[in-house]
Amino acid sequence: MTNTWAPVPEGSGFGIDNLPYGIFSPSDVGSRVGVRIGDHVLDLRAALGDQVFERASLNDFMARGRDYWTATRRRIIDLLTDPTQRVRAAEILHPLDQVTLHLPIEVADYVDFYASEHHATNLGTMFRPDSAALLPNWKHLPVGYHGRAGTIIASGTPVTRPSGQRKAPADPSPVFGPSARLDIEVEVGYVVGTPSELGKPVSTKEFTDHVFGVCLVNDWSARDIQAWEYVPLGPFLGKSFATSISPWIVPLDALAAARVPTPQQDPAPLPYLEEPEPWGLDLRLEFVLNGHTVSRPPYAQMYWSPAQMLSHMTVNGASLRTGDLFASGTVSGPEANQRGSLIELTWNGTEPLHLPDGRTRTFLEDGDLVTLSGSATGPSGSPISLGEVTARIQPPEAARS
């Protein structure tokens, strides 16, 4: 790891090889762009002087494109490794526990994919036991759906239990009420910085020209609402009530050492989905429920890469906008303790999860605290943290009024 004069605790995942971007507000000034280094936030407006960093979102900075992102990262590294800059520490570094973190981007569009073969196979086996687990299109294209950009929320924002129509298979008719099968989904999100033209597809090799960085995503899911509504058009109200993202956007440059090949794709994808240099990522994820680790999904086993998702998302001519967010879908591995959702961990509620404190869960209960975290390995073997995305479940509005 390159030495820095900034205070970085031993083993921190926020050393100089990481440098993720976020939006923060100190007590004395408004919201602005910062970079996390150790347990501090580097104030980029004060440190570098560019007014683009005096914004309440990363969008204006991200819109400037890859050359500017690369140059800015170089400037930050130079500043943090120049010992003469230590005298400015009090002016440009803010202790993390003395600032407020915010939603890092203005979300333009939100697309969620379904890129884990293990997750898709688990759900297919659950709900179509007499048929093939994967539908015929699954290995030919990255399946996805459009979500609600307006319901993307910052880590730490409570999630209110949603209400909607539910109908169990044995029920004669649907009923309306709070979801009884509230779930989480461990996901990885990709943030678009540079837009594209309407009508012009973006190829897999252009991935790094457009995608700024990576965040953690919890795509909250009301499984009972979803089960009743999703045929024939797919997810709607069971998904659109809230999606939480982490406060830090890790730039792609910080994850170069974490790149790995995607799993063997058979059949071979169509030409527009071919990757000259595969964009698999070796990310280690963790799902913690009420302080107890219940699963560790491995992102390296995701079948479809983010470059393939981006290419498929635009192959019909759909344009990209600064602030677009697209997510991987639930990350699950082949082992039971690598499943990235409660519906898998409890096999649709038939195998309750036993927590170390003696409690059991099939789906989330009011008051539950969910934390997702993730990390990768940096160029010198140092950890690269994706941070955390966390939220507590609140009772439905009717119960609190």
Just list the catalytic residues: 119
CA distance 300 to 260: 7
Give Cα 71 to chain centroid, integer Å: 25
**176-207 burial, b for 16+ CB within 10 Å, e for fewer?**
eebbbbbbbbbbbbbbbbbbbeeeebbbbebb
Radius of gyration of the chain from Cα atoms?
Answer: 21
306 by Cβ neighbours in 10 Å (0-12 / 13-18 / 19+) ranks as buried
Q: Is 232 helix (H, G, I), strand (E, B) or coil?
A: coil
Asked whether the CA dihedral 325, 326, 330, 334 is positive or negative, the reply is negative
Asked whether 163 and 396 are in contact (CB, 8 A), the reply is yes
* Largest interatomic CA distance in the chain: 74
Asked whether 378 and 18 are in contact (CB, 8 A), the reply is yes
Place of tokens 């239990």: 161
Identity (one letter) of the amino acid at 183?
Answer: D
In this structure, what token pair is assigned to residue 384? 């690269």
Identity (one letter) of the amino acid at 250?
Answer: V
Identity (one letter) of the amino acid at 141?
Answer: L
| Neighbouring C-alpha atoms within 13 Å toward the C-beta of 365 | 6
Q: Which of 38, 5, 32, 1 is nearest to 20 (CA)?
A: 38
In this structure, what token pair is assigned to residue 216? 């953690």
CA distance 251 to 228: 39
In this structure, what token pair is assigned to residue 52? 């683009």
Asked whether 324 and 59 are in contact (CB, 8 A), the reply is no
